[in-house]
Amino acid sequence: MTIQDERPITVWLDIDNTLYSTSAKISQAMGVKIHNYFVKLGLSDEEASDLHHKYYTQYGLALAGLVRHHDVDPLDFDRNCDQALPLEEMIFPNPAHRKLLEDIDRSKVRVWALTNAYKVHAERVLRILNLRDLIEGIVYCDYEAKDLTSKPDPAYYRKAMALASITDSSNCYFIDDNWRNVEAAKQMGWGHCVHFCERGLEHVEGGKVIRISSAPDTSESTKHEEKHGIKVISELEELRVVWSEIFKSA
């Protein structure tokens, strides 16, 4: 039996590099694992770097290109990349983040995670961060079904809304460190979009090191995003201000 959740507001939290800081260098470690996976397929270092970046840019996930062009099993990729990361030595619970999620008014708000990772990685990260019990549902990239639809594909946001039985996108609150994902959510009509932007830190995307800035990459970028109704924050604690209406009143 499906019980209709009458709570009007849904908060969607990205997990990686949002619920923990990019300074944990998970993206660097992940980049190395993925590179090694390409090399294991018989590619040279140079070919591996080129294809890694190309697939990431083209499909949003390097894995999507590996499945499409190299007949890779996503579950094998997951075991050798995400699951092989020593996360327990790299990220740690932050009591302030736990308190932040505890202070959300659950009588009107449900809190879900929306990740491009597979469920094994998502569950593991949330458990290590001591946040798992505060997340009511997880929308993940379904490696088992070989369905690699992911953010920022609009179909993925529609899937998320369907899974949570949401029809009113204006009541969706969303935070992600990847501005393309935030922009896509905004275009889907998600009402309250936040770009988590740890400006200046180094991050690895598609195997390439980038320095984080908000988008587009100019000194005016934060203003640009805010003009388009996207809030930019660099600390999760700032959600208490930009999303003040979803928190329990003191």
Task: Please state at what angle helix 26-40 crosses helix 62-70, rounded to 10 degrees.
Answer: 10
Instruction: Tell me the C-alpha distance between 125 and 119, whole Å.
Output: 10
Work out how close the CB of 6 gets to Mg ion at its nearest, in angstroms, rounded to a whole number.
Answer: 30
Instruction: Tell me the C-alpha distance between 77 and 10, whole Å.
Output: 31
Instruction: Tell me the C-alpha distance between 205 and 178, whole Å.
Output: 10
Residues 6+ apart with CB under 8 A from 73: none
| Segment (H or E) for 230 | strand 230-233
Instruction: Tell me the C-alpha distance between 5 and 217, whole Å.
Output: 40
Work out how close the CB of 117 gets to Mg ion at its nearest, in angstroms, rounded to a whole number.
Answer: 9
Work out how close the CB of 73 gets to Mg ion at its nearest, in angstroms, rounded to a whole number.
Answer: 24
Instruction: Tell me the C-alpha distance between 62 and 165, whole Å.
Output: 30
Work out how close the CB of 2 gets to Mg ion at its nearest, in angstroms, rounded to a whole number.
Answer: 30
Work out how close the CB of 45 gets to Mg ion at its nearest, in angstroms, rounded to a whole number.
Answer: 26
Amino acid at 174: F
Return residues touching Mg ion (CB under 5 A): 14, 16-17, 177
